[in-house]
Amino acid sequence: MCSESRIDCGSAAYVYDLEYCLQCPYRSSAPLVSDDHSPRAALMTTPTTRSDLSVVLPCLNEAETLRACLTRIEETCTNASIDAEIVVADNASTDGSREIAMSSSARLVEVSQRGYGNAIRGGIAASTGQYIIVGDADCSYDFSEIPKYLARLRNGYDLVMGCRRPTGGGQILPGAMPLTHRWIGNPLFTKLLRGWYGSPVNDVFCGLRGFSREFYDGIRWEESGMTFAVEMVIRAAQTGAATTEIPITLYPDERTVHGPHLSTLRDGWRTLRYILSQYLLRGGVPVTRQPSARRETASPIPVDTDLMVS
């Protein structure tokens, strides 16, 4: 069902693809995208009912683990009486992930441009929740933590980061993270963002994070790949977004067919280059943004001394 026209035009799912939708013969006369063709514009094609929470799962060939993630999210939200929608943001997976998403209560969003950042941005563009939580579809995160994230968001925080590193109270189980990421990449990038941007975050790459739509919509996102994770932390610091952390456990993912999509050298280099270029171009000086009314209700960091080790 083409969600733009609400007419069955043969498209199996919502398609986040400007060209495709413009070519759709059933396209209504209403403009599909804004002049700047920003991902946010695709919100115009989403269902009109609005959820409290959207859980967005970027997914590229995760058929082995996707169903378990969806089940865990559904159970958690049902048990906690959370009005949530699940959005699977896929880039033409070929292993049956799309079919798994379509046979579940989740909504499948086809994102035409590849990349972790593109997938999340496309998924969010098609989502409706006032709050958004994103997480990997590889069973490395415990989605039963969702109510904790939502509670912080409802309490006024703009960005709620998970923290897997012990410096922030988290835990990384053996085999869950490559040693180079654990001891070199993540600590280095975290240190740079804390030092240069004053970010309070202890785990910049944590993939289980939540944020308000107000925060998300207030920023012009640029990154399309794994660097999107870092861009979010930098922008939060630059805009003075109310940020907090929840200590979580990282489990070894349950994939056997393929490894992580994150490439240590390629993505490590891109991240370093991105952080340096942002600092040189924009500096660590905070950019201004209209203060959020809700933000005033959030306590400054550190908020939970029991949870925040440093």
Residues lying near ligand GTP in the complex (CB under 6 A) are found at 58-60, 62, 89-91, 111, 114-116, 119, 136-138, 140, 177, 207, 253, 260-262
Query: Between residues 91 and 212, which has the closer beta carbon with respect to ligand GTP?
Result: 91
- The set of long-range contacts for 283-292, using a CB threshold of 8 Å and a minimum separation of 24, is 284/196, 284/197, 284/198, 286/198, 286/237, 286/238, 286/239, 286/240, 287/238, 287/239, 288/239, 289/218, 289/239, 289/240, 290/218, 291/240, 292/158, 292/212, 292/214, 292/215, 292/218, 292/241, 292/242
The binder of 115, among ligand GTP, Mg ion, none, by C-beta within 5 to 8 A per type, is ligand GTP
Cβ-based nearer residue to Mg ion, 230 or 242: 230
Closest separation in Å from C-beta 133 to Mg ion: 15
Residue 116 interacts with, from ligand GTP, Mg ion, none (CB under 5-8 Å by kind): ligand GTP
Per CB under 5 A, the list member of 64, 110, 136, 158 interacting with Mg ion is 136
| Span of 56-64, 133-141, 218-226, 272-280 interacting with Mg ion by CB under 5 A | 133-141
At what angle are helices 186-197 and 264-282 packed, to 10 degrees? 10
Which one, 119 or 236, has the nearer CB to ligand GTP?
119
- Closest approach, Cβ 90 to ligand GTP, in A, equals 5
Q: How far is the CB of 155 from ligand GTP (least distance, A)?
A: 27
The candidate with the shortest Cα–Cα distance to 303, out of 165, 187, 194, 148, is 148
Output the smallest distance, CB 59 to ligand GTP, in A: 5
Residue 71 CA to residue 74 CA, distance in Å, equals 5
Beta carbon nearer to Mg ion, 261 or 289: 261
Structure tokens at 205: 């790459």
DSSP assigned state of 167: G
Whether residue 47 has a cis bond before it, omega within 30° of 0: no
Residue placing its CB nearer to Mg ion in the complex, 38 or 249? 249
- The verdict on 140 binding Mg ion (CB under 5 A) reads yes
Work out whether 202 is an interface residue with Mg ion (CB under 5 A). no
Cβ neighbours of residue 301 closer than 8 Å, sequence gap 6 or more = 200, 243, 244, 308
Q: Which is nearer to Mg ion, 136 or 231 (CB)?
A: 136
C-beta closer to Mg ion: residue 40 or 164: 164
91 binds, among ligand GTP, Mg ion, none (CB under 5 to 8 A by kind): ligand GTP
Q: Which stretch binds Mg ion (CB under 5 A): 92-100, 128-136, 216-224, 282-290?
A: 128-136
Q: Is residue 158 a contact point for Mg ion (CB under 5 A)? A: no
Question: Quick one: which of 252, 171, 164 has its CA closest to 203?
Answer: 164
Residue (246 or 298) nearer to ligand GTP, CB: 246
> Starting at the edge strand that comes first in sequence, how are the strands of the sheet with 84-90 ordered?
14-16, 107-111, 84-90, 53-59, 131-134, 209-212, 159-163, 243-247
Helix H or strand E encompassing 233: helix 228-238
Count of residues interacting with Mg ion (CB under 5 A): 3
| Backbone angle region of 203, left / alpha / beta, with phi > 0 → left and psi within -120 to 50 → alpha | beta
Residue 138 binds Mg ion, judged by CB under 5 A: yes
Binding footprint of Mg ion on the chain (CB under 5 A): 136, 138, 140
